[in-house]
């Protein structure tokens, strides 16, 4: 085996020289850089390098104490800067320092002093930059957001306010009103974000407040409150339109009642809410129903008497239109009036003209002559009974009955009372003769019944007395006419009425004449004679029952041995009166029987306590 030895390559003497030179240069460079860097450090030991500034304040060659004094004097923004918060016309101004912003001078100076003193090459670069162009460092700050948050929370206590709904209510006649208030809340977190951004600029300025508003459903109801105050400031007066003396009204409603007519409610209108003041239908309609009872009336025809010489009608009482209260329209008128501040409001009344006006003539009504007249007598009547007969008869004088209409006495004599001038006199009630208001009115009904009966008009409703009353059987001059028995008619409104029908195509005019001297009442019918004829006959008293023996009653109202008669004896009997009515051609129009059953009636006497023999004192 043999070996071949290869010798190592021989280095070039030039390359070796270059490498040696490079290494020597590098060592010299590093030495020079180190020498420069450390020389600068030594030269500026304890001082900030030249060209270093903080927030525009040149700190070159300053010791840390000097630099601290300079920065404290120059960096005044935290102490003297201005941060403005604004809401509407309200403004709050704060210093950044109040909001937690302070400069960290120690850290800032440490940063400035450390420049050019960290590492070899970084120090060289920093030293070079400072000496060549200068280095501008920002100040180091501390922003304590807890302080800023506390400031904003304190601001919120001044800004925040609760949302308040407007309130409107009636307390009796007092109007309670409180306006609404928009609520507002400072959003501290959102405002803090704006403040944080502002603090980084180190400049004065305004920070927007983020305020969230809470709007109430109803802010203002002052108009509605004023409507209520005006409506309740005075009584409400309701009047009839074109009222004349004697008409009902006016009606005065005090504010206490008016207040109860109002209702106040919060309602939604389109996209908003509001308070609505309205007039209650129920409360007002109850009131109007009461007023309607006083206002509503039937139209009244004009009243006349027939002049037998001129054969013309003479006006004695003007016609009067009828009224009907329109409750619905009146409700609307009152509601609108009250809401408009009016206190005198006319009622809405529907007028109905009468059938017969003041200008009617005898020819237009078909009244040409006296059809029939009847007279009854009542000699011996008390002054009270005479007064009642006169008053009741006067109500029918000049009254007109339309063609083919049924006439009711109750429609005329609606209120027989002391207030209307009637007196207390003897009446038949519940099987007894007693003292009552209106005694004697049956004399009027009897007279009318006989006039209609003998004139040939149909009798629709007639009621007899319980027993025979001799007033109704008196004949002219003196004495009693038994043929008149069974031709009486009693009334007791509204239960017992007398009615007859005007079956002619002409109006019927009634005239009544009261004669106090003759104790008589005459009733006249004026119309046009259609040729009818009446035949009648009284079949006489049958089934006569003698009156019971007198009844004697003791009373403390009379002294001993004094007696008074309070009821009168009458025999009981049955009476039938027949009537046949013929037309102008002699044909029978009506045939009717008037049947009456009279009870036997005993005389009643009252005597004073202590009377020994009442029968002897009172007599038979």
Give per-residue pLDDT as tens, 410-426.
999 877 767 767 766 55
Counting the structural domains of the chain, the total is: 2
DSSP-derived secondary structure for 135-162? EEEPPPEEE-HHHHHHHHHHHHHHH-B-
Classify residue 190: in a domain, yes or no: no
Whether the Cβ atoms of residue 547 and residue 567 lie closer than 8 Å to each other: no
What are the beta bridge partners of residue 399? 510
- Give the distance between the most distant pair of CA atoms in the chain: 205
What are the beta bridge partners of residue 207? 85
Residue 432, pLDDT above cutoff 60: no
User: What does the DSSP 8-state code read for residue 398?
Assistant: T
Residue 127, pLDDT above cutoff 70: no
Task: Give the Cα separation of 447 and 544 in Å (integer).
Answer: 25
Q: What is the CA radius of gyration of the chain?
A: 61
Query: What is the token pair recorded at 82?
Result: 């201005």
316 and 370 housed in the same domain: no
Residue 10, pLDDT above cutoff 80: no
Terminal C-alpha separation, the chain: 203
Q: How confident is the model at residue 437 (pLDDT cuts 50, 70, 90)?
A: very low
DSSP three-state, residue 325:
strand
Q: How confident is the model at residue 11 (pLDDT cuts 50, 70, 90)?
A: low
Task: Give the Cα separation of 46 and 61 in Å (integer).
Answer: 9
User: What does the DSSP 8-state code read for residue 410?
Assistant: G
Query: What is the token pair recorded at 532?
Result: 């009818």
β-pair type (344-346, 369-377): unpaired
Cβ contacts of 210 within 8 Å, gap of 6 or more: 186, 187, 190, 191, 194
322 and 345 housed in the same domain: yes
Residue 371, pLDDT above cutoff 80: yes
337 and 391 housed in the same domain: no
Q: Higher pLDDT residue, 162 or 417? A: 162
Domain termination residue (choose one: 327, 352, 377): 352
| Torsional sign, CA 348, 350, 354, 360 | positive
Return the CATH number at 303: 3.10.20.800
For the CA atoms of 90, 94, 98, 104, what is the dihedral angle to 10 degrees? 150
Whether the Cβ atoms of residue 521 and residue 444 lie closer than 8 Å to each other: yes
276 and 394 housed in the same domain: no
Poorest-pLDDT segment among 191-205, 409-423, 444-458, 606-620: 409-423
Task: Give the Cα separation of 65 and 73 in Å (integer).
Answer: 12
Query: What is the token pair recorded at 135?
Result: 């280095």
Poorest-pLDDT segment among 33-42, 413-422, 451-460, 483-492: 33-42
Query: What is the token pair recorded at 445?
Result: 């009904």
Classify residue 65: in a domain, yes or no: no
581 and 490 housed in the same domain: yes
pLDDT tens-digit series, residues 382-392: 888 888 899 99
User: What does the DSSP 8-state code read for residue 365?
Assistant: H
Classify residue 570: in a domain, yes or no: yes
Residue 121, pLDDT above cutoff 60: no
| Residue whose structure tokens are 């209409």 | 405
DSSP three-state, residue 283:
helix
Classify residue 579: in a domain, yes or no: yes
User: For residue 263, what pLDDT is reported?
Assistant: 87
Task: Give the Cα separation of 490 and 460 in Å (integer).
Answer: 14
Residue 464, pLDDT above cutoff 50: yes
Task: Give the Cα separation of 241 and 266 in Å (integer).
Answer: 36
Inter-CA distances, 154 with 85, 148, 207, 269, Å: 13, 10, 16, 39
Domain termination residue (choose one: 324, 352, 380): 352
Classify residue 316: in a domain, yes or no: yes
User: For residue 88, what pLDDT is reported?
Assistant: 84
Q: What is the mean pLDDT of residues 611-615?
A: 86
Classify residue 403: in a domain, yes or no: yes
User: For residue 5, what pLDDT is reported?
Assistant: 54
488 and 560 housed in the same domain: yes
pTM comes to 0.62
Residues in the chain: 620
Domain termination residue (choose one: 352, 378, 400): 352
Q: What is the mean pLDDT of residues 147-162?
A: 93
pLDDT tens-digit series, residues 45-64: 668 778 788 877 887 777 87
- Crossing angle of helices 120-132 and 13-43, in 10° steps, is 60
Whether the Cβ atoms of residue 91 and residue 85 lie closer than 8 Å to each other: yes
Q: What is the mean pLDDT of residues 273-278?
A: 88
pLDDT tens-digit series, residues 482-539: 899 999 999 887 789 999 999 999 999 999 999 999 999 999 999 999 999 999 999 9
331 and 423 housed in the same domain: no
Task: Return the percentage of the chain with pLDDT > 90, whole number.
Answer: 45
Give Cα 199 to chain centroid, integer Å.
62
State the residue range of the domain holding 315: 233-352
Residue 431, pLDDT above cutoff 70: no
User: For residue 436, what pLDDT is reported?
Assistant: 52
473 and 601 housed in the same domain: yes
pLDDT tens-digit series, residues 522-532: 999 999 999 99
Q: Higher pLDDT residue, 60 or 313? A: 313
Closest CA to 224 of 255, 194, 266: 266
User: For residue 426, what pLDDT is reported?
Assistant: 54
User: What does the DSSP 8-state code read for residue 8?
Assistant: P
Residue 367, pLDDT above cutoff 70: yes
Poorest-pLDDT segment among 329-333, 358-362, 389-393, 474-478: 474-478
426 and 572 housed in the same domain: yes
Task: Give the Cα separation of 566 and 429 in Å (integer).
Answer: 13
457 and 511 housed in the same domain: yes
Task: Give the Cα separation of 467 and 598 in Å (integer).
Answer: 5
296 and 338 housed in the same domain: yes
Whether the Cβ atoms of residue 601 and residue 570 lie closer than 8 Å to each other: yes
Averaged pLDDT of the chain: 86
Task: Give the Cα separation of 302 and 275 in Å (integer).
Answer: 53
Poorest-pLDDT segment among 181-190, 298-307, 558-567: 558-567
474 and 597 housed in the same domain: yes
Classify residue 138: in a domain, yes or no: no
DSSP three-state, residue 435:
strand
Classify residue 380: in a domain, yes or no: yes
User: What does the DSSP 8-state code read for residue 422?
Assistant: -
User: For residue 438, what pLDDT is reported?
Assistant: 46
User: For residue 317, what pLDDT is reported?
Assistant: 95
């Amino acid at each position: 085996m043999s070996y071949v030895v290869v010798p190592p390559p021989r280095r070039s003497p030039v390359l070796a020289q270059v490498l040696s030179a490079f290494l020597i240069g590098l060592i010299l460079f590093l030495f020079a850089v180190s020498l420069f860097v450390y020389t600068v450090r030594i030269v500026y030991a304890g001082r900030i390098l030249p060209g270093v500034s903080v927030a525009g304040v040149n700190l070159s060659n300053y010791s840390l104490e000097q630099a601290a004094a300079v920065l404290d004097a120059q960096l005044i923004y935290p102490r003297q800067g201005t941060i403005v918060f604004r809401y509407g016309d309200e403004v709050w101004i704060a210093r950044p320092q109040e909001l937690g912003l302070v400069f960290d001078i120690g850290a800032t100076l440490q940063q400035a002093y450390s420049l050019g003193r960290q590492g070899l090459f970084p120090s060289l670069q920093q030293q070079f930059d400072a000496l060549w162009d200068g280095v501008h460092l920002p100040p180091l700050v501390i922003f304590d957001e807890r302080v800023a948050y506390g400031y904003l929370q304190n601001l919120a206590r001044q800004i925040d306010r609760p949302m308040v709904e407007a309130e409107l209510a009636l307390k009796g006649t007092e109007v309670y009103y409180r306006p609404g208030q928009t609520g507002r809340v400072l959003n501290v977190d959102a405002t803090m974000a704006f403040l944080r951004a502002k603090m980084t600029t180190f400049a004065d300025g305004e920070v927007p407040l983020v305020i969230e508003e809470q709007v109430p459903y109803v802010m203002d109801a002052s108009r509605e409150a004023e409507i209520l105050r005006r409506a309740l400031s005075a009584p409400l007066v309701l009047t009839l339109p074109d009222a004349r003396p004697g008409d009902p009204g006016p009606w005065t409603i005090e504010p206490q009642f008016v207040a109860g007519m109002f209702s106040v409610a919060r309602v939604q209108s389109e996209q908003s809410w509001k308070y609505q003041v309205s007039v209650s239908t129920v409360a007002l309609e109850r009131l109007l129903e009461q007023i309607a009872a006083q206002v509503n009336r039937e139209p009244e025809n004009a009243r006349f008497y027939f002049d037998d010489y001129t054969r013309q009608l003479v006006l004695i009482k003007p016609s009067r239109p009828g009224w009907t209260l329109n409750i619905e329209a009146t409700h609307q008128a009152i509601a609108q009036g009250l809401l408009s501040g009016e206190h005198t409001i006319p009622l809405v009344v529907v007028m109905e003209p009468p059938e017969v006006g003041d200008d009617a003539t005898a020819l237009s009504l078909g009244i040409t002559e006296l059809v029939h007249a009847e007279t009854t007598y009542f000699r011996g009547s008390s002054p009270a009974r005479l007064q009642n007969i006169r008053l009741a008869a006067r109500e029918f004088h000049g009254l007109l009955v339309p063609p083919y209409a049924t006439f009711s006495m109750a429609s005329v004599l609606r209120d027989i009372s002391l207030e209307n001038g009637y007196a207390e006199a003897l009446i038949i009630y519940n099987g007894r003769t007693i003292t009552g208001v209106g005694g004697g009115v049956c004399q009027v009904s009897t007279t009318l019944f006989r006039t209609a009966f003998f004139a040939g008009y149909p009798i629709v409703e007639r009621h007899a007395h319980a027993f025979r009353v001799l007033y109704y059987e008196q004949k002219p001059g003196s004495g009693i006419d038994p043929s008149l028995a069974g031709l009486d008619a009693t009334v007791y409104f509204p239960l017992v009425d007398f009615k007859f029908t005007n079956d002619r195509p002409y109006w019927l005019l009634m005239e009544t004449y009261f004669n106090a001297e003759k104790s008589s009442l005459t009733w006249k019918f004026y119309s046009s004679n259609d040729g009818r004829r009446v035949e009648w006959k009284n079949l006489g008293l049958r089934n006569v029952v003698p009156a019971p023996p007198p009844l004697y009653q003791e009373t403390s109202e009379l002294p001993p041995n004094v007696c008074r008669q309070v009821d009168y004896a009458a025999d009981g009997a049955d009476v039938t009166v027949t009537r046949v009515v013929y037309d102008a051609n002699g044909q029978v129009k009506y045939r009717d029987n008037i049947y009456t059953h009279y009870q036997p009636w005993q005389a009643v006497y009252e005597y004073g306590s202590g009377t020994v023999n009442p029968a002897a004192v009172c007599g038979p």
